[in-house]
Structure 1
Amino acid sequence: MSIWENPEEGRGSLYNSVITNTSKEMMSFSDFPMPEDFPTYLHHTKVLEYICLYAQNFNLLNYITFQTEVCSVQKHSDFSTTGQWDIVTEKNGNRKKDVFDAILVCNGHFTEPYLPLDCFKGIHDYKGRIIHSRTYKTSEDYRGKTVLVVGIGNSAGDIAVEISHIAKQVFLSTREGSWVISRISHRGFPLDMVISRRSTMWFKNVLPQKLAAKFIEKKMNGWFNHENYGLEPNNSLKIPIVNDYLPSQILHGAIKIKPNLQRFTETSAIFEDGTVAENLDAVIFATGYNSVFPFLDNGTIKLDENNIPLYKHVFPVHLEKPTLAFLGLIQPLGPIIPTVELQARWATGIIKGNIHLPPHRTMENYNRKSIESKIRWFGNSRHLPLQTHYIDYINELSEEIGISPNLSLFITDPKLAWQVFFGPCTPYQFRLFGHGKWQGARKAILTQWDRTLKPTRTRNLHKSPERRPRFHYCILLSFIAVMAGVMFCSQCISKADYL
């Protein structure tokens, strides 16, 4: 429970004000929609409540051992034959050793803070307080103080905004800048339900990358001009952060955006542009995490911070037997819960022998091409191996499992097909077909907007308001236009080749 309360070494932690960046319908488990009275975006206590409801509904508590530390994971003596593992655990000071047929590593990558102190000259001379965002809980310690937040991820934005309400001044230092988007989209609908659609991803994949970058840049600047706020990223395709209040706090001076840090003095921070943050009381480094697995034997898998050779972010490429899988070691541009759920369904299918991995060379080639594609889209960064486009990735996994929705739905169930391909890509889509099919999936998809809007309709206006965004016709017309353009370009290229 430390993730919700006080941080412990080797475990994740949250600050008290954390609200989800993804809406409840997008982040639900695929066979268990969230209660309709839950707010559209959840405080982290509501996420915990939902996970507890899920565990109770499926009687999972009978299969979970709490307050138990995994001390070591090593190959069994006949691993090459059985694929089994020796696991040493400790509970209440008592250690025991067991043999398991397979291991799912699910501790994620938010446990060991990345604190690049040696990157900044004079840091050890600085007399103020220095912490990593992992240990931040509330803003009260920073009342009336001058604070520097280093980083431009979601945590950096949240913490800077929260502190800026009571601090004397907040500086936010960023090396690369970032797009900033709101949770609220056109006409007040949840942003992720508007943009996370199969049709939208199809446009992304069919457009030339330079054109896609221009399109994304225009859309990102639709809320406010990032250049005017000092936030415009170096890479137009950079993954955005979600923050509803950062532009407002910049606009009235509570937060000042600064470039990368150059060095520290005893009482100040000096930035690369020569400007100085004087009389600095505290520095909060929101600089991310390293991926660590202290319980794993070094000979099992080679780990290089965030660069871990995993096939489709799950299976070690060079392991003799596919009985070790990593879940959640990924940063999708979308919800993490349904992503990890699909990883688990795929991994368990392989461990049981119902699904098979390709040869090692095929997996190596896949990883190489995947990294090349990520560099083109996201640029090069520490977390590059973990980043991925959400819908592209879950489509890959669903095809591996054999549960991906297909175009035959337009014949068998046009109403459902329209929502699947042109509506939000909610997790229930992966319970319509194949192994694990859930009879309630169709209803969950057709009623997802009702559950989204119900918690906001707390005052009866005696009207019949629009129940969902009417983007379908625009999407269809755009689809036809793009297809016509692609066909026209193809004909021009063919004629040019002929000439």
Structure 2
Amino acid sequence: MASKKFRVAVIGAGAAGLCAARHILTYSDTFLPPVVFEASDRLGGTWVYTERTGEDAEGWPIHSSMYRSLRTNLPKEVMAFPDFPFDPSLPSFLHHSDVLAYLESYAEQSGIQDHVRFRWQVDGVRPVLGEQGTAGGWDIKATVRGSGSTQHFSEHFDAIMVCSGHYAIPFIPPIPGLDSFQGCLLHSHSYRHPEPFAGLTVVLVGAGASGVDLALQLSPVAARVVLSHQGPPVCGLPEDVLQVPRILKVAKETVVFGDGSALQPDALILCTGYRYRFPFLALAQLGLQETDYGVGPLYRHLLAPRHPSLFFIGLCQQICPFPHFHCQVLFALAVLRGRCLLPSAAEMEADAQGQLDRYLREGGLAQHFLRLKAQQWSYAEELAQLAGFPPLPPAVREIYEATRARRLRNVGTYRDLTYRLLGPDAWEEVRDSGRDLEGNGSAE
């Protein structure tokens, strides 16, 4: 008698959800074809650009945070899924439309689109108890968005992969008096292009990827651009971009900074990141809770200890996203296939708490716990060892770190380079004309 195949629900058809679906289809001996729930009408998640902000024509929230001229801040050589390279003729630093086209090709070649339910909004995910109190899978309640009407459905699954992303709900910092600001106030989530800010004085809050990018975009058109942040000076910004300490308070037209200086800007753009949000999950019932850094405790940053068939793919930050998703998905599927045995729920919770405690003892801030940075490599290697899949090629780490070093030296020019992979542990930098700049051998 054939063993029962697992039915897996994937929530979200962005890069993480597509990766999950691709690999579920690969293991057809263990899994039924996945069901991918996607609230919008197309795949790609945050890589789908739209001029609209706020809500779409039907009143549903706009998910994407893309702006018109966005280019990736990582080269395609480290962005790609390990089993699906980008077109080598493309430049290393891609326009967002190239990334979306890549994801569409990834889905097409894997046969994923046949398994995506577009315009299905997941409203609730509830664990089901089986016989004698054992885990009995999950019930999903979803709403089908139609033209002028909605329909509600409920279905049963054996496992859930949450791939809904975390770049849709803006984080608004608790700046005193912010609500009183009388100029143009928005989050970078709603920024699309620089023209509306022509001739204005603009204050950008935060020097992460969005804050720096917007400073570069706005400098040629705005009357004045001020970048407010608490870190060291950003190297390579135009000379007319003024860098000041973080905002102390806002008083109607006036913004006061930490050094006591003040300004009356026309626009204030918050480049302050995003919040994690899972409205379809009753976290407390799952042994989870909202935390300063998102949701926890999660074993290996992705698995609910008391419900080891519930996986969160892609919560970590400051990583190579697509390779990271690849490793997490393969680990999750190894767990479901019985190829990776887990500790007890209590042991997994203790492990997750211990990792957080060590991070805090070493001086880390709780809200930054999921910023893996250099730790992403040992994390990915550990998942590969536990689940028995090939580790990421050494060249991925080397190019990532070379890019990071160049970005720290000059944010305005680091994307002028093109990289070329020569093998799993060898690569080089080239000019657009093809002239070699610098060869990089293996990591030996």
Which one of 190, 195, 202 corresponds to residue 140 of structure 1? 195
1:310 Cα deviation from its structure 2 partner = 0.7
- Structure 1 residues 376, 126: CA separation in 2 closer, same or farther (over 3 Å shift)? same
In the alignment, what sits opposite 2:388?
402
* Equivalent runs, 1:242-281 vs 2, <5 Å: 247-249=236-238, 252=239, 254-278=240-264, 280-281=265-266
More helix by share: 1
1:165 Cα deviation from its structure 2 partner = 1.4
1:354 Cα deviation from its structure 2 partner = 2.2
SS in structure 2 at match of 1:76: strand
Alpha-carbon deviations, 1:16-45, whole Å to 9, x = none? 122112111211111111111121111111
| Aligned residues of 1:174 and 1:259 also touching (Cα < 8 A) | yes
In the alignment, what sits opposite 1:493?
none
Which one of 264, 283, 289 corresponds to residue 302 of structure 1? 289
- Structure 1 residues 376, 169: CA separation in 2 closer, same or farther (over 3 Å shift)? farther
CA distance in 1, matches of 2:115, 2:426: 31
Which one of 286, 304, 310 corresponds to residue 316 of structure 1? 304
| Aligned residues of 2:129 and 2:135 also touching (Cα < 8 A) | no
CA distance in 2, matches of 1:296, 1:449: 44
| Aligned residues of 2:203 and 2:269 also touching (Cα < 8 A) | yes
CA distance in 2, matches of 1:71, 1:349: 28
In the alignment, what sits opposite 1:203?
none
Alpha-carbon deviations, 1:299-355, whole Å to 9, x = none? 2232235142111111012x1x411100001114x3100101110111011122222
| Aligned residues of 2:211 and 2:271 also touching (Cα < 8 A) | yes
- Structure 1 residues 447, 36: CA separation in 2 closer, same or farther (over 3 Å shift)? farther
In the alignment, what sits opposite 1:152?
207
SS in structure 2 at match of 1:393: helix
* Equivalent runs, 1:170-319 vs 2, <5 Å: 170-175=225-230, 177-178=231-232, 230-231=233-234, 247-249=236-238, 252=239, 254-278=240-264, 280-298=265-283, 299-300=285-286, 301-304=288-291, 306-317=294-305, 319=306
Task: Give the stretch that moved more between structures: 322-331 or 25-34.
Answer: 25-34
Which one of 314, 328, 350 corresponds to residue 343 of structure 1? 328
Which one of 163, 166, 177 corresponds to residue 109 of structure 1? 166
In the alignment, what sits opposite 1:456?
432
1:160 Cα deviation from its structure 2 partner = 1.8
Q: Which amino acid aligns with 1:346?
A: F
Q: Which amino acid aligns with 2:78?
A: M
Query: Does 1:52 find its partner at 2:38?
Result: no
Aligned length: 362
Q: Which amino acid aligns with 1:112?
A: I
Alpha-carbon deviations, 1:361-395, whole Å to 9, x = none? 43234323422444466731523234352211111
Query: Does 1:76 find its partner at 2:143?
Result: no
1:77 Cα deviation from its structure 2 partner = 4.4
- Structure 1 residues 314, 151: CA separation in 2 closer, same or farther (over 3 Å shift)? same
1:11 Cα deviation from its structure 2 partner = 2.3
Alpha-carbon deviations, 1:395-426, whole Å to 9, x = none? 11111111245xxxxxxxxxxxxx955x4448
In the alignment, what sits opposite 1:85?
138
More strand by share: 2
| Aligned residues of 1:378 and 1:384 also touching (Cα < 8 A) | no
1:76 Cα deviation from its structure 2 partner = 2.0
Q: Give the alignment's TM-score, normalised by structure 2.
A: 0.74
Larger radius of gyration: 1
| Aligned residues of 1:313 and 1:386 also touching (Cα < 8 A) | no
In the alignment, what sits opposite 1:96?
153
| Aligned residues of 2:297 and 2:353 also touching (Cα < 8 A) | no
Unmatched 5+ residue regions in structure 2? 1-41, 56-60, 400-420
Root mean square deviation, CA, Å: 2.8
Identity level (%): 28
Larger RCO, structures 1/2 (Cα 8 Å, 6+ apart): 1
| Aligned residues of 2:202 and 2:224 also touching (Cα < 8 A) | yes
CA distance in 1, matches of 2:310, 2:424: 37
Unmatched 5+ residue regions in structure 1? 179-229, 232-245, 406-418, 428-442, 459-464, 477-499
